[in-house]
């Protein structure tokens, strides 16, 4: 069988710094079965006539380039079976079906057959990190999160050694909640033995951080600890986790905390958002605001929750660009003063007139 793996055309509407992990796993799977495999990015035309085409997708707001890819390849290879998977395909099945009806097959969620296969990284020779899920799903059920649809069951792996590529310099974990795994200590042990740089890319759950976890983290080659402060209710856990991490020697600049805003589920307002940002800057860590995006397909940055206004959202975006660094708010002295002295959201996020 001839198999074509398609990553939609990269653009401002379809942007990711990571390789398409699902497609790389499918490549390894089909190669093992002696199928002929070709991986392409965007639109490709070089005489490879596939029997089966897999097209991946990213976030729901990046749906249009996925449609373009489906249109192009379904027209070009009329007889090939087309399977569309990934985040958008899983969350927006009806949206896809409305346009493409029976021409495509939609694969929702993860693909169990390839879950434990080492991805075929030879297809992305410029890439030098092993991307691994040591667990799927999450034990929490946050109403604003898509994980419960994408990975409904919490499934931990006992080992991940077989998913580390021997030539790589780094391991990136994409777990939603690695510390919820009953095998997290075994996994951390394997990470330590790898001697590679480690990135818990999706963050770790502050509610599960204790002294033992911090001791394990200290043994890893880790340059940044990512946490989240999406809801006010976790304040005491987060404060405790940050103090443990700092006591263990992690610098505040190494602790980055994602801070969701514009979130309608938690009735998050500009004031509650400011209060979370003030907590973080007061604790001396870096805050990284993340604008809530709904799960349905719509253009990025167009959703405005009933508790925010367009102007207020723009103030945050501008402050991130002008006052922040790489979209984050590090605990610089100037920013500390500005945020902690502010009595209102507007005072905190307005841009001061330039000095004469
Ligand atoms: S803890 Fe994180 S991954 Fe888990 S449901 Fe909540 S937001 Fe999603």
Residue 356, pLDDT score:
45
Ligand 1 atom closest to 205 (CA): 1
Distances in Å between the Cα of 151 and the Cα atoms of 87, 121, 132, 176, 297 are: 10, 24, 15, 10, 19
The pTM of this model reads 0.95
Query: DSSP of 130-157, one letter per residue?
Result: EEE-SEES-S---TT-SHHHHS-S-EE-
Residues of the chain with pLDDT under 70: 353-356
The residue to mutate among 176, 207, 260, 290, having the most atoms of ligand 1 within 8 angstroms of its beta carbon, is 176
Are the C-beta atoms of residues 57 and 91 closer than 8 Å to each other? no
Residue 353, pLDDT score:
55
Phi, then psi, of 341 in degrees rounded to 5: -85, -15
CATH number 3.40.50 is the correct assignment for the domain at 115-349: no
The residue to mutate among 134, 147, 154, having the most atoms of ligand 1 within 8 angstroms of its beta carbon, is 147
Ligand 1 atom closest to 141 (CA): 5
Residue 266, pLDDT score:
86
Pocket of ligand 1 (CB under 6 A): 138, 140-142, 145, 147, 176-177, 205
Residue 355, pLDDT score:
52
DSSP single-letter state for residue 188: H
Residue 220, pLDDT score:
98
Q: Domain 2-112 in CATH: superfamily?
A: Cobalamin-binding domain (3.40.50.280)
User: What is the per-residue pLDDT across 81-97, written as a single tens digit (0 to 9) for each?
Assistant: 999 999 999 999 999 99
Task: Give the residue whose CA is nearest to atom 3 of ligand 1.
Answer: 176
Are the C-beta atoms of residues 164 and 194 closer than 8 Å to each other? yes
- Domain coordinates in residue numbering, the chain: 2-112, 115-349
Ligand 1 atom closest to 146 (CA): 8
Say whether 225 sits in a helix, a strand or coil: strand
């Amino acid at each position: 069988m001839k198999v074509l793996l398609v990553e939609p055309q990269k653009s401002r509407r379809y942007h990711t710094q990571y390789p398409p992990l699902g497609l790389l796993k499918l490549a390894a799977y089909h190669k093992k079965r002696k199928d002929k495999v070709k991986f392409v990015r965007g639109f490709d035309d070089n005489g490879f006539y596939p029997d089966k085409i897999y097209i991946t997708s990213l976030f729901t707001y990046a749906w249009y380039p996925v449609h373009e890819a489906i249109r192009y390849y379904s027209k070009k290879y009329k007889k090939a079976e087309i399977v569309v998977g990934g985040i958008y395909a899983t969350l927006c099945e009806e949206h896809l079906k409305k346009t493409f009806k029976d021409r495509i097959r939609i694969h929702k969620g993860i693909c169990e057959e390839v879950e434990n296969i080492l991805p075929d990284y030879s297809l992305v020779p410029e890439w030098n990190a092993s991307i691994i899920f040591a667990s799927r799903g999450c034990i929490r059920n946050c109403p604003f999160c898509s994980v419960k649809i994408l990975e409904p069951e919490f499934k931990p792996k006992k080992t991940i050694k077989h998913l580390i590529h021997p030539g790589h310099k780094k391991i990136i974990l994409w777990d939603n909640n690695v510390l919820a795994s009953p095998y997290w200590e075994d996994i951390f042990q394997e990470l330590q033995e790898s001697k590679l740089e480690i990135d818990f890319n999706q963050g770790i759950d502050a509610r599960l951080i204790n002294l033992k976890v911090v001791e394990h983290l200290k043994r890893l080659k880790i340059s940044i600890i990512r946490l989240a402060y999406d809801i006010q209710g976790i304040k005491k856990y987060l404060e405790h986790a940050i103090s443990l991490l700092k006591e263990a020697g992690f610098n505040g600049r190494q602790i980055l905390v994602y801070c969701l805003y514009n979130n309608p589920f938690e009735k998050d307002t500009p004031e509650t958002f400011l209060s979370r940002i003030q907590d973080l800057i007061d604790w001396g860590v870096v805050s990284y605001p993340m604008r809530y995006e709904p799960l349905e397909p719509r253009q990025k940055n167009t959703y405005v929750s009933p508790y925010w206004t367009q102007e207020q959202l723009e103030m945050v975006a501008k402050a991130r660009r002008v006052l922040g660094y790489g979209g984050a708010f590090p605990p610089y002295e100037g920013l500390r003063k500005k945020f902690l002295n502010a009595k209102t959201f507007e005072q905190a996020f307005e841009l001061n007139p330039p000095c004469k």
